[in-house]
Chain A
Amino acid sequence: MSDTGTADAVVDATPSDAVASAPAADERLAYRSIFQRLFIRPEIGAVIGVVGVWTFFWAVSLNFGTTGQTQNWLDITATLGIMAVAVSMLMIGGEFDLSSGANTGAMGILFILLIKEVGELGGLGLSIWIAVPLSFVAAMGIGWANGVMVERTALPSFIVTLATFFILRGLKLGLSKLLTGQISVTFTDESHGYGFWQPVFAGEWQRNDHIWNSRDVVYIGFLVLGAAIITLAVCEMHFVRRDKLAASGLPIFGAGVAGVAAAIFLMHTTDGVSANILAAAVLGISILVGLYGFSTWRFEPQAAAGGLNLDGSIMPPLLGGLIGVGLASVASFAIDSDNAETLFFPFTVQGLRVVLMMILAGGGFTLLMVAGNKALKQNMTTKLVVSSLTAAALVGFAFVIRQSAEATKFRTELFSVLLFVALALFVWSVLGVRFAERRKIDEAADRTGMKAMVLGLALMITAVVLRHLFVVQAELDAGVNPAKFSVRMLWFFAFTAVMVWILARTRFGSWTFAVGGNAQAARQVGVPAARTKTQLFMIVSGAAWLVGMLLAFRLSSLQAGAGDGEEFEYIIAAVVGGTMLTGGYGTALGAAFGAAIMAMSLVGIQSARWNTDWRWVFLGVILLLAVIANRFIRDRAEGARR
């Protein structure tokens, strides 16, 4: 903090400066920027994981991003996610359920036995209309029994539910053999009520039956609009809003928007490389111009950005980072361009070269980020210089990658992504130099920004969903693989939404956190701890019933071992999603994302043509990274303990 000026007094809210600055809403409440606020959400680790794992497999495999593969991993996510969400709630409540995996299979088998065997024994055939609620009651009973046993015996739920696990496992096998003489049970579409219940639990959306030729226009429109709204929302929540809006910025904003539209149109209608490069350049400049105009209109200009100050703390990481990226570029040339098959299999010479390049590049960009962080502590001008250098390094690296793209089967899209990140970095630091960053809470701006952000996200999600649900004639003509989306996705979304709502908004949700965080304290203030925990066990068992139904109607036939051993996958998904193993902290949404990460790694490894045995190594690494990241996020969320 060498220079002292009015700008710095606002920037550093140290006690001595606090007198000089304007009276804040509450001087003890340190302002947290939009990014800091996002980064203390417990789900953030899992969200980053989803994006990261998806990008990784998208980059290393040829078809991971296609609808067929997407449908594959979403299908696995649905059943795994329903269980992971329920299990994460139980874990937040401080308990485990080791019987949850076996329970899914048990419910499916019980259901099939009810409609088949009970019917045959009675000579009539038990209707599905009766078997569905009957098996649900059984599930509630199992959950209740688990809960009551844990509460009454005060034994660890690990032990109690381990016993339940063995009982269920034995019952599945024993009853199947006793009643059908086989270790798998089957039912047919002749059962009464099948016509109604089959679509409820196993309905499918055949993508190739739904043609919508203007799909891509809507897709790109929604995607770009959504991204633009989110960008503006981030600006709204990051900069100081003007008291009086400056209309002079509006024409510039309009010009930027027009430029973006023109660039997208150009990209969409032309195919040539030079036209695309032109369009990309127009796009980049237009985004900068548009955001500049928008900010001029709405935000307070920066009083003083400060002078360039590349001191001893910035130079080493900056130079180191640039050298690292340079070496990575050199290393990328060493990759044998004729040998693409085993590219990402780690233990080949070729693989090691790629790993070397990735380590160098990763290290280099990490150092550049460190330098950027240190520059931010100096002033915005320094930050701009460091960011520009980082952006330049990104652009250079992107071109090097593209150079060897064809040979190494690197996705050419990676080129665009790197360029885009460079652009975002550059534009963001230009805005930072020109406009004053917010240092105080502005609830009105935050509300507007939050609403806009939700709207933008909704638009983008709608765009992606539409793209996957519909097919255009051109794709059909090219012989696109059929893909079918199961109704189980809807069950998964609905279940997750309800559980997220329950956790965040209801008394039961509050009590769940309380009994997991400090059960004794919860009891002392009158929370019915035993009842809350029992109900949590029943939620897990209910989820197992739902998954059992989904499995039974999908497969019509279930092995006696169905679901056994999967309980640890649910727990891993929940932990990856930010749920604390010791209880009292976590989210249901995070668990859903955790399930997606696991499903993606399973499908992605096949898609990248690795041996699927490597899945477990991959999962282990993911779990480790997730736990460390979540620990970090939680410590940040709690703040410094006194």
Chain B
Amino acid sequence: MAEHDLLQLDNISKFYGNIIALEGVTTSVNAGEVTCVLGDNGAGKSTFIKILAGVHQQSAGTIKLNGEEVMFKSPREALDAGVATVYQDLAMVPLMSVWRNFFLGAEPTKGIGPIKMIDQAKAMRIAVEEMAKMGIDIRDPEQPVGTLSGGERQSVAIARAGYFGARVLILDEPTSALGVKQSGVVLKRIVEARNQGLAVIFITHNPAHAYPVGDRFLILNRGKSMGNFAKEEITQQELTGLMAGGAELQELQSELEEAISGVKKS
């Protein structure tokens, strides 16, 4: 483990025709670590995830998993290699029950030949157990996922990824649609997943969420890497500044202040 990181990305680029979506991105993540990928809208975060998840393939650069060069041709391949992605839209079917969602695509079966059926009792039991490990007490595994709160849904997705032997867990904006308290819950899940030995890639546009849990930070802006820092090399303030392109943010801030004072006067 010491010689190479679990997942190592070198100079990853992605072009859609003449559009450069991502250029020369380098970062790494190790087991039991959290690497945060920060960027504003349109920074290339989605492309970055899709390459890792096997939805798209990089146009240039190399991905090394455990020191071996890999190229994921489909989401299934990435999953089989132990790279699980929890998407922003959660990859859940809201009208289906918790346990069916938990096992979707990899249901445990019993029986042989044409009468092979899902082992429902086992699936329900495991789903409840795994959720309990994440600290979520599922009321009824038959309840539709649509009735769960946002934080609980994230937890189902994270628990699912962990259960199916993920070594690298990619979380796409897990806190963006959540309230303050729920975000806290999800951040706790991230730390728990890390403590269980998973390598976590946490994609967010919120430095306040990223800084407390991250061990390494990759900042993207307009498809380009603005830097790849270990935690000790950077403060939260600097992180925020880099993310929005420092100067721009300051400008915005002063404009805002003007506008606010203007309102107060009138």
Query: With a CB–CB cut-off of 8 A, which chain B residues contact A637?
Result: 144
**Bound Cα distance A513, B53 (Å):** 24
Give chain A interface residues in 585-610, CB to chain B under 8 Å.
585
Determine which of A29, A527, A585 lies in contact with B105 in the assembled complex, contact meaning CB atoms within 8 Å.
A527
Query: With a CB–CB cut-off of 8 A, which chain A residues contact B76?
Result: 526
| Distance to closest chain B CB from A464 (angstroms) | 30
Q: Is A638 engaged at the interface, CB distance under 8 Å to the other chain? A: yes
Per-position 1/0 for B125-166, Cβ under 8 A of A = 000000000000101100110110100000000001000000
Tell me the number of A-to-B contacts counted with CB atoms below 8 Å: 92
| Distance to closest chain B CB from A520 (angstroms) | 7
Determine which of B79, B93, B96, B147 lies in contact with A641 in the assembled complex, contact meaning CB atoms within 8 Å.
B147
**Bound Cα distance A584, B104 (Å):** 14
B143 touches A26 (CB 8 A): no
A513 touches B96 (CB 8 A): yes
A513 touches B105 (CB 8 A): no
A517-B89 contact, Cβ under 8 Å, with A505-B117, A524-B75: no
Query: With a CB–CB cut-off of 8 A, which chain A residues contact B55?
Result: 524
Query: With a CB–CB cut-off of 8 A, which chain A residues contact B118?
Result: 505-507, 509-510
A514 touches B139 (CB 8 A): no
Q: Is B87 engaged at the interface, CB distance under 8 Å to the other chain? A: yes
Q: Is A522 engaged at the interface, CB distance under 8 Å to the other chain? A: yes
Q: Is A244 engaged at the interface, CB distance under 8 Å to the other chain? A: no
| Distance to closest chain A CB from B36 (angstroms) | 22
Determine which of B87, B120, B146 lies in contact with A524 in the assembled complex, contact meaning CB atoms within 8 Å.
B87
Q: Is B31 engaged at the interface, CB distance under 8 Å to the other chain? A: no
Q: Is A523 engaged at the interface, CB distance under 8 Å to the other chain? A: yes
A525 touches B149 (CB 8 A): no
Query: With a CB–CB cut-off of 8 A, which chain B residues contact A505?
Result: 117-118, 120
Query: With a CB–CB cut-off of 8 A, which chain B residues contact A638?
Result: 95, 144, 146-147
A517-B94 contact, Cβ under 8 Å, with A507-B118, A522-B104, A526-B76: yes
B139 touches A28 (CB 8 A): yes
B96 touches A26 (CB 8 A): no
Give chain A interface residues in 69-89, CB to chain B under 8 Å.
none
B146 touches A510 (CB 8 A): no
Query: With a CB–CB cut-off of 8 A, which chain A residues contact B143?
Result: 639
Determine which of A506, A521, A526, A527 lies in contact with B92 in the assembled complex, contact meaning CB atoms within 8 Å.
A521
**Bound Cα distance A523, B85 (Å):** 12
Chain B residue at minimal CB-CB distance from A523: B75
A525 touches B146 (CB 8 A): no
| Distance to closest chain A CB from B194 (angstroms) | 22
B109 touches A29 (CB 8 A): no
Query: With a CB–CB cut-off of 8 A, which chain B residues contact A526?
Result: 75-76, 79, 105-106
Query: With a CB–CB cut-off of 8 A, which chain A residues contact B140?
Result: 29
Query: With a CB–CB cut-off of 8 A, which chain A residues contact B100?
Result: 510, 513-514
Q: How large is the interface on B (under 10, 10 to 19, 20 to 34, 35 or more residues)?
A: 35 or more
B147 touches A642 (CB 8 A): yes
B107 touches A521 (CB 8 A): no
Q: Is A518 engaged at the interface, CB distance under 8 Å to the other chain? A: yes
Q: Is B265 engaged at the interface, CB distance under 8 Å to the other chain? A: no
Chain B residue at minimal CB-CB distance from A640: B147
Q: Is B91 engaged at the interface, CB distance under 8 Å to the other chain? A: yes
B105 touches A525 (CB 8 A): yes
Query: With a CB–CB cut-off of 8 A, which chain B residues contact A520?
Result: 89, 91
Q: Is B81 engaged at the interface, CB distance under 8 Å to the other chain? A: no
Give chain A interface residues in 555-591, CB to chain B under 8 Å.
584-585
Most central of B55, B95, B117, B140 by chain A CB within 10 Å: B95
Chain B residue at minimal CB-CB distance from A580: B95
| Distance to closest chain A CB from B3 (angstroms) | 31
Q: Is B116 engaged at the interface, CB distance under 8 Å to the other chain? A: yes
Query: With a CB–CB cut-off of 8 A, which chain A residues contact B95?
Result: 513, 517, 584-585, 638
Q: Is B191 engaged at the interface, CB distance under 8 Å to the other chain? A: no
Q: Is B124 engaged at the interface, CB distance under 8 Å to the other chain? A: no
A525 touches B91 (CB 8 A): yes
B89 touches A521 (CB 8 A): yes
Most central of B92, B96, B104, B144 by chain A CB within 10 Å: B104
| Pairs across A and B, CB under 8 Å, 30 listed | A29-B139, A29-B140, A505-B120, A507-B107, A507-B109, A513-B93, A513-B100, A514-B93, A514-B100, A517-B94, A517-B96, A518-B92, A518-B94, A520-B89, A521-B104, A522-B104, A525-B75, A525-B91, A525-B104, A526-B105, A527-B104, A585-B95, A638-B95, A638-B146, A638-B147, A639-B143, A639-B144, A641-B146, A641-B147, A642-B149
* Shortest 6 CB-CB contacts between residues of A and residues of B: A517-B93, A526-B105, A505-B117, A521-B91, A525-B105, A524-B91
Apart from A520-B89, A523-B75, A584-B95, list 11 A-B contacts with CB within 8 A: A28-B139, A505-B120, A513-B100, A518-B94, A521-B92, A521-B104, A522-B93, A638-B95, A639-B144, A641-B147, A642-B149
Residues of B within 8 A of A (CB): 53, 55, 75-76, 79, 85, 87, 89-96, 100, 103-107, 109, 116-118, 120, 137, 139-140, 143-144, 146-147, 149, 160
Residues of A within 8 A of B (CB): 26, 28-29, 501, 505-507, 509-511, 513-514, 517-518, 520-527, 584-585, 637-642
